[in-house]
Amino acid sequence: MSHLVAIVGRPNVGKSTLFNRLTQTRGAIVSEESGTTRDRQYGKVTWLDREFSIVDTGGWVVGSEDVFEGEINKQVEIAMEEADVILFVVDIEGGTTDLDDEVASKLRRTKKPVLLVANKADNYTQHYAAAEFYAFGLGDPMPISAVNGSGTGDLLDAIVSHL
Ligand code: GDP
Ligand code: MG
């Protein structure tokens, strides 16, 4: 079975944008499977000689524009059960919110690898802002831009190093 990478985080941090970048730029097939109460957005990513599946957990919630706190926590629980590597996406522009803190405290309890992805670092002058995310206790934040692709090569290297 192929390895599964899950993208988690509060709404609007850029989870779906990152999912689309990682899948589309590698010519992956994106498919949507309907569940009874949830839709899951799965794709395939190829990087160097490695292949893995990726799931955008935003798609785990129907009508994800108005996500309840409980739903996000549920997504994180599912990711911690099902995924081999978890990408915890936060937003350099928006900074840390209570919801980020809540997700971080859940993720600190898993033994699975968690990569702290500091998204919306569209230019290098924004990279310093990623330092605030050290407070999560989840290791080094990786500044990336899902929109322009900056940092995503390093992120992919880090992902496959855990597979
Ligand atoms: P999600 O709710 O976490 O899935 O977030 P989305 O992928 O839907 O993105 C939310 C908003 O953030 C959209 O307006 C995106 O265009 C924007 N966004 C996502 N990634 C980036 C990025 O790297 N840089 C900037 N400037 N905006 C981004
Ligand atoms: Mg989304």
How confident is the model at residue 31, as a pLDDT?
Answer: 41
How confident is the model at residue 28, as a pLDDT?
Answer: 34
Is 31 in contact with 43 (CB distance < 8 Å)? yes
Residue with CA closest to ligand 1 atom 26: 120
How confident is the model at residue 27, as a pLDDT?
Answer: 36
Q: Which residues, including other chains, have CB under 8 Å from residue 55's CB and lie 6 or more apart?
A: 4, 5, 6, 7, 40, 41, 42, 43, 79, 82, 83
How confident is the model at residue 86, as a pLDDT?
Answer: 98
Distance 119 CA to ligand 1 centre (A): 8
pLDDT averaged per 10 residues in sequence order, the chain, 163 residues: 89 88 58 41 89 80 55 86 96 93 96 97 91 97 96 98 96
How confident is the model at residue 131, as a pLDDT?
Answer: 95
Give me the residue label for tokens 């803190």.
101
Q: How far apart are CA 4 and CA 96, in angstroms?
A: 27
Q: Give the Cβ contact number of residue 18 at 10 Å.
A: 24
How confident is the model at residue 66, as a pLDDT?
Answer: 52
Give me the residue label for tokens 């689309």.
20
Determine if residue 123 is left, alpha or beta; phi over 0 gives left, psi from -120 to 50 gives alpha, anything else beta. Answer: beta
Residue with CA closest to ligand 1 atom 11: 12
* ipTM exceeding 0.95, yes/no: yes
Question: Which of 10, 15, 16, 17 maximizes ligand 1 atoms within 8 Å of its Cβ, making it the mutation to test the pocket?
Answer: 17
Parallel, antiparallel, or unpaired: how do β-strands 4-8 and 85-91 relate? parallel
Residue with CA closest to ligand 1 atom 12: 14
Domains and CATH numbers, the chain: 4-161 (3.40.50.300)
Q: Give the Cβ contact number of residue 50 at 10 Å.
A: 14
Nearest Cα neighbor of 94 from 133, 147, 148 is: 133
Distance 4 CA to ligand 2 centre (A): 18
How confident is the model at residue 141, as a pLDDT?
Answer: 97
Q: How far apart are CA 119 and CA 151, in angstroms?
A: 9
Q: Which residues line ligand 1 (CB under 6 A)?
A: 9, 11-17, 58, 119-120, 122, 145-147
Ligand 1 closest atom vs CA 19: 7
Ligand 1 closest atom vs CA 93: 26
How confident is the model at residue 16, as a pLDDT?
Answer: 85
- Quote the pTM value: 0.89
